[in-house]
Structure 1
């Protein structure tokens, strides 16, 4: 992906090479004579071709909350955009969102179809999931074409409720810049970033610094630059994140070092050695324009050099310096009023096209959209309707077309240590710096001059770590993409000799879908026996058959058909370095207490407790059961069940419901027809009438309304528990439990099918269809409303389209929990500008409105 703008072909070294960028230059006429240079024209053409044919994609995922308790649901909206324009991507239509554990295990995956700018999804966190810091990751297959793919990643803290509530950890504050304390125990690290890439003798240089401790925390301190004789030549300070800069002019033949003298510590660090001859590229952001100064002490001066600026790959400035009197210095002025937001890059090229200097700068456009979130009142009572209006407008107040998503959550659900990232900071900053900014949103929280200056220093100390000019040439010379953009589900396979799988056969293949809306097509394979059908877009699993016969004229050998797996995932490895830890602060404890009350209430008010008879399973195939019993036992809340049913051990379940599976259990009765089937069991000597069992799906309690729609094809296995086997569920399981585990709950290899010549069947899972977020309507009286309402997410609205002549709105009801709530909105305009905003309101027991 091409988010990290172009590091040089030659590594401009000295710690890291420098970075800063500025937008579209308006050069003065003194140095603007345009002379065609074939080397420079090639550079321009390569960049333009790359942006047109091999441009990157970016993803961002908004979640309803910052952290969760086990048993909750992660509601999310995945955005997919073109990596250069930030508009709707014309490449991929399929994206993957995954949840990974601290031990690099895949917990859940959602394969989504992207419509317009994004797609909604959800991930249910099992009650049995161990607490810890999980990683939410999003990507497309197309991103894998990059040398160093950059996926969207977000840390998701999950607390194990019983453990979290037993003990409160002391909060460890997240510090952006820590003053130097206990200096003898700190392992100090200083890295130097000369502006443009190198220090040059005899010229005034700007150098960025980054000071950290042994685990990467930024350190705020003071120091000085001294020459080899110990004479101070400049003084510096570092601020938030340990960032700072210093100006000085190296003298010919001298070496320099930085010295830190803070009380008991006295440490020196050698600076990069200055070049005797070289070039400097200096940029100063003046708000409405940028001053660009090119300087050299070379005898050849600046004649024949080429200055190129681009914003995420889109050329915004080009200037050939060709005047005979172009000596050692040139200054250009670039107006910024028409430029987009984001990181821009300027590169100074030699006459032969070799890069000499680089500089990054962040462009902050004055023409940003305005997002306004409003409610009728600032204070509401419990179970009261809240109407929310959203306006996305330009400076003149006219609506801007776009797509938004919104969540309404308790203010207790926030991590005080840091906000991390949002759609604006990720797309405009962090994604183009390789995901290396610890808290990218920090640089967008206010519009102060000090924050802008620090952002400029951040540019100085970060480079395009994933993209070099040489990579453009290598990419464009590769005719075929290794990973083509996915447009839908493609069913691939190959045909071989039936008794020799290593011998491919060119065959005629017929593809048939047997479900409703039956579909059929056929085509020949290639000489290697490979075939593919699609892309298809379907939400539910489809069944079908594939037939094939060899295309040999003299004889017709029997054909074997092998299908490729349609499942896909990229291995995940936790990044090296310090892992983030999240302390259980007071607001988090309050939040988890609310989550626990909600779970207890859900159990208490679910009318589905039933006593089960002794059950006996007849004819179960144990071969596959043995493969998964150990893994199944690890995710269940209970111990040994009274009886376990494996779906693939029971014949005749095609098209059957989950309730039909229970018909196979002795002592369990199922009445009615799908989807209104009821399950009861004959009491064994009990004087009470039969009751429904307690239903559990993937370790979470559900209602009869939920399970009555479940099909047997969704189930891997189910457990029936009675008596002591149901003890884990307390009084709720006194009359028995039916615990159902779906195909997403275990990573189990599918059974090996028996092969037949020339034909094979298939079942292909569909794209994920997001569940509908439950939002009660208290305007209508229902018995279920007697249950206390402890929702922590009051509302989730994943798709809020904004049209030219209208503004979106939504409404919801508050619950029974009082306190402050946050409405968080994120999204994209159609022309590629990210937006985000917050609004707050309070829920109290008073009826007054403000």
Structure 2
């Protein structure tokens, strides 16, 4: 791995320290509160949270269309654009979690964008689009971004529309704090949903084992609500739920413990949080038992305090100003350092990004210019520079806007596991109704005890996947023979042939493991892996799949499309096929990545263009006649090359590294190579050091096309197809500025009028752009999303007509 000065930051150093083992002896001498505080601090310095949000151009597609997306990558602690990982992985999964499309997308200063062309082979259905970084794989698929998209293939028969008669309704009950305890008053939250996480309307009742009805209850928003009661020792409780469609669900409440702890949180008239912890645990000592309350917001410690029980209750007052905005996790520990209660609380955001957009008209004709003014501001209308993405698409009976947006995802959905129905609702206002619904939502997500198992364990947290600080990691294992014996501690090279030299040497590990830090490798191509080890039997290279093989448990809603949409589908299919027929070349243009083309060994070394010299018949003659930096020797019929060190005025004693199009080749092979195929020769006269490798100079040959023309590689070389970073497809939008352009006979059936993932407002929050309407009439939606450098996120949408 190559390290640069900009990588040596506090966060990077903290991540590197994650591989060290921390001593436990100092913690044993501390009290339980300080021990928890210390453990958490040690963990948070290593488990740096990342989040990825994806803005897609729309939610419904036809096979043959392009799915466009913008990535917003932020630090999970403060939701500010982040610059740690440089690669994001984006996948489109079918209902069986089989990847249909995959792409590696470059991230720069917290942003990236890409696209998927949906081929004619794709089947109709609902798909999951997900995105994550290599580092996020340590925390499982629940930390990945996911959204549902629908694809219809008009060139294939639609699957039969079997009615969904399963109605897998689920009722769940969540005692506040985590547990019911006999004799202790408790608040119980409930949630009743279908198998796709959608809330249901119902009436419910709670009864004991003697069928005595104790209370009745109804849900608030999205099938979520709460009731309170005191469980009696020895009793058990069952809820009976009757849905509006006549289904009856019976569900037993969690069993009440004979002894334990119960937690309650309330906000008083002064806006302070009152937390009471009740217990009926027997005293273990003559001193009153103490409990420790610990609160953190996005892994930033906010409150750490203790209280003793008085008459079985410990009371805490939390100043809300000490909590961070968004979700805080409040956990109560007993004096054995065991988490016994937990609750989530949401502190409203002081500022969000306000986005405004206005066009020059409320209604447009076909092929007319739309001038759009954008403005971004925070509290008080103060303008702020922000990074935005914009999609403008036609609304029809099949199109729909994504549920949620960047604001609700970063501050709510990403911090809760499972499906959140209509997350944007909880940011619609700060009314009593919305506040109550939000508190109910947090109650059904408020007990995450397993998180503390990793935090409190005695050894330091270890992580299998590390952040890709400066480029993509290609990892794998090299082995030999039929039994796949590992090739240990071998000099191993990965090369990417091309006019830009890419050469990555590593030393394999004890078990043959290798990891190459590959940078600026774009598009599909081939990688070549070689080992210096003289291997007589078969040389194997197993490259690790960089995409995660873990998937969330959330079910994808079944695909269903009734005949009433046939006309809309037919019209959309015709429009799509016409666009692809007339503009196929415009839809397949990709931007050339702005990357450093300097060779890996740098510039400033002698360079020889073969066409500038008289051509010789052998490489030996070229080196002897034109290249004074290289001495050619021959002993026992074998060539030897030595580079002259101009500082010491002597030749190096060891042979140099010899490359052809970035691929290491033997001296004998290059000396017999056809010199007419060589375009250029460079000689690195300095000793080159990288990691554990030292070379007494480099002789680098390149061919005219950078493709190793007619070179036969050694048997130790393995050539593999491997996709690099995704090339950025350029969005095509025709211009009708002149009457001649507007009078063009080429049809324009775009339903996506405009897509831009890289809009930047200035310091005053202003930006302007324009696009043109197509030949399609109807209602169009414009959706803007974005974030500023301080983590203020927001979205805005509006509609306009084309007559």
Superposed counterparts of 1:63-212, under 5 Å: 63-146=56-139, 149-161=142-154, 190-212=171-193
In the alignment, is residue 328 of structure 1 matched against residue 313 of structure 2? Answer: yes
Q: Which residue of 2 aligns with 1:596?
A: 573
Is it true that 1:405 corresponds to 2:389 in the alignment? Answer: yes
1:168 Cα deviation after fit? 12
**Counterparts in 2 of 1:111 and 1:819: CA distance versus 1, 3 Å:** same
In the other structure, the counterpart of 2:639 is: none
Q: Which runs of 5+ in 1 are unaligned?
A: 1-35, 173-181, 551-555, 609-653, 656-711, 715-752, 845-850
C-alpha distance in 1 between matches for 2:159 and 2:488? 65
Shift of 1:796: 0.3
Q: CA deviation at 1:509?
A: 5.1
CA distances 1:179-207 after superposition (whole Å, capped 9, x unpaired): xxx9xx98875432111122234443211
* Per-residue deviation, 1:283: 1.8
Displacement of 1:85 after TM fit?
A: 2.5
Moved more, 125-134 or 216-225: 216-225
TM-score (norm 2): 0.70
Separation in 2, partners of 1:498, 1:269? 58
SS at match of 1:309: strand
Q: What CA deviation, in whole Å up to 9, does each residue of 1:66-123 have, x standing for no partner?
A: 1011211101112222233222334421111112233443222111111112211111
1:404-455 Cα deviation digits (max 9, x unpaired): 2110111227656x84332223222222222332443343445443233122
The SS at the match of 1:821 is: strand
Partner of 2:768: 809
Distance in 2 separating the partners of 1:767 and 1:81: 20
The within-5 A match list for 1:303-314 is 303-314=289-300
Q: Retained in 2: the 8 A contact 1:817–1:843?
A: yes
Please give the alpha-carbon distance, in whole angstroms, between the structure 2 residues aligned to 1:277 and 1:359: 20
Aligned match of 1:756 in 707, 714, 719? 714
Q: Distance in 2 between matches of 1:235 and 1:187?
A: 23
Give 1:282's aligned residue: 264
Q: Secondary structure at the match of 1:472?
A: helix
2:141–2:551 contact (8 Å) kept in structure 1 = no
Q: Quick check: 1:824 aligned with 2:783?
A: yes
Q: Are 2:737 and 1:779 aligned? A: yes
1:167 and 1:497 map into 2 onto residues whose CA distance is 47
Report the Cα distance in structure 2 between the residues aligned to 1:159 and 1:234, rounded to whole angstroms. Answer: 48
Partner of 2:200: 219
Q: How many residues align?
A: 650
- 1:219 aligned counterpart, secondary structure: coil
What is residue 327 of structure 2 aligned with on the other side? 343
Distance 1:157 1:405, change over 3 A: same
- Tell me, in whole angstroms, the C-alpha distance in 1 between the residues paired with 2:307 and 2:582: 78
CA contact (8 A) 1:497 1:505 kept: no
Secondary structure of residue in 1 paired with 2:95:
coil
Cα 1:309/1:528, change in 2 over 3 Å: closer
- 1:770–1:278 CA distance, 2 compared to 1 (3 A): same
Distance 1:67 1:585 in 2: 17
Q: 1:414 to 1:545 in 2, by over 3 A?
A: closer
Give the structure 2 partner of residue 468 of structure 1.
451
> Which residue matches 1:381?
365
8 A Cα contact 2:233 2:258, kept in partner: yes
CA–CA distance in structure 2, aligned partners of residues 713 and 128 of structure 1: 33
Q: Tell me if the contact between 1:256 and 1:270 (Cα under 8 Å) persists in the aligned partners.
A: yes
CA contact under 8 A between 2:202 and 2:242: conserved in structure 1? no
What is the CA–CA distance in structure 2 between the aligned matches of 1:189 and 1:518, rounded to whole Å? 58
Answer yes or no: is the 8 Å Cα contact 2:522–2:727 preserved in 1: yes
Counterpart CA distance in 1 for 2:502 and 2:170 is 64
Q: What do residues 243-293 of structure 1 show as CA deviations (whole Å, max 9, x unaligned)?
A: 221122345555444455799988865434434443322123579835223
Please give the root-mean-square deviation of Cα atoms over the aligned residues, in Å. 4.3
1:548-574 deviations in Å (ceiling 9; x for gaps): 545xxxxx7779765453753334768
Aligned counterpart in structure 2 of residue 355 of structure 1, from 324, 334, 339:
339
Does 1:425 find its partner at 2:388? no
The whole-number CA distance in structure 1 between the counterparts of 2:397 and 2:484 is: 56
Aligned pair in 2 of structure 1 residues 469, 379: CA closer, same or farther (>3 Å)? same
> Which of 519, 524, 528 does residue 536 from structure 1 map onto?
519
Match of 2:766, SS state, is coil
Contact 2:779 2:802 (C-alpha < 8 Å) held by counterparts = yes
**The residue matched to 2:382 in structure 1 has which SS?**
coil
Quick one: distance in 1 between partners of 2:580 and 2:241? 61
For residue 359 of structure 1, report the CA deviation from its aligned partner: 1.0
Q: After superposing the two structures, state which structure 1 stretch, 73-82 or 487-496, moved more.
A: 487-496
CA distance in 2, matches of 1:261, 1:118: 47
1:390 corresponds to which of 344, 366, 374: 374
Contact 1:202–1:249 (CA under 8 A) maintained in structure 2? yes
Secondary structure at the counterpart of residue 744 of structure 2: helix
Instruction: Provide the C-alpha distance between the structure 2 equivalents of 1:316 and 1:237, rounded to a whole number of angstroms.
Output: 35
1:44 aligns with 2:37: yes
Partners of 1:493 and 1:562 within 8 A in 2: no
Measure the CA separation in 2 of the matches of 1:256 and 1:272: 8
Alignment partners' CA distance in 2, 1:607 and 1:840: 29
Distance 1:69 1:422 in 2: 23
Matches within 5 A, 1:361-376: 361-376=345-360
The question of whether the paired residues in 1 share the 8 Å contact of 2:53 and 2:71 is answered with: yes
Shift of 1:380: 2.0
Q: Note closer, same or farther for the CA distance 1:383–1:713 as it changes in structure 2 (3 Å cut).
A: farther
Q: Is the 8 A contact 1:344 1:362 kept in 2?
A: yes
Question: Which residue pairs with 1:841 in the alignment?
Answer: 800
SS at 1:396's partner residue?
Answer: helix
Contact between 2:137 and 2:548, CA under 8 Å: does it hold in 1?
no
Alignment of structure 1 residues 726-741 onto 2, 5 Å: none
Whole-Å separation in 1 of the counterparts to 2:494 and 2:168: 65
Q: Counterpart of 2:119 in 1: which secondary structure? A: coil
Aligned partners of 1:360, 1:304: CA distance in 2, in Å? 22
Distance of aligned partners of 1:510 and 1:293 in 2 relative to their CA distance in 1, 3 Å threshold: closer
Given the superposition, is the C-alpha separation of residues 285 and 506 from structure 1 closer, same or farther in structure 2, using an over 3 Å criterion?
Answer: same
- CA offset digits 1:764-822 (Å, max 9, x no partner): 54311121000111004349932232211100011123443442332111112222211
Question: Which secondary structure state, in structure 2, belongs to the residue aligned with residue 477 of structure 1?
Answer: coil
Distance of 2:215 and 2:756 partners within structure 1: 54
| Contact kept in structure 1, 2:307 and 2:315, CA below 8 Å | no
The TM-score, its normalising length taken from structure 1, stands at 0.67
Aligned CA distance change for structure 1 residues 318 and 72 (closer, same or farther; 3 Å):
same
Distance (whole Å) between structure 1 residues aligned to residue 542 and residue 249 of structure 2 = 60
Structure 2 Cα separation of the partners of residues 262 and 511 of structure 1: 61
Match of 1:770 among 728, 747, 768: 728
C-alpha change, 1:473 and 1:792, in structure 2 (3 Å) is same
Closer, same or farther: CA 584–800 of 1 in aligned 2, 3 Å: farther
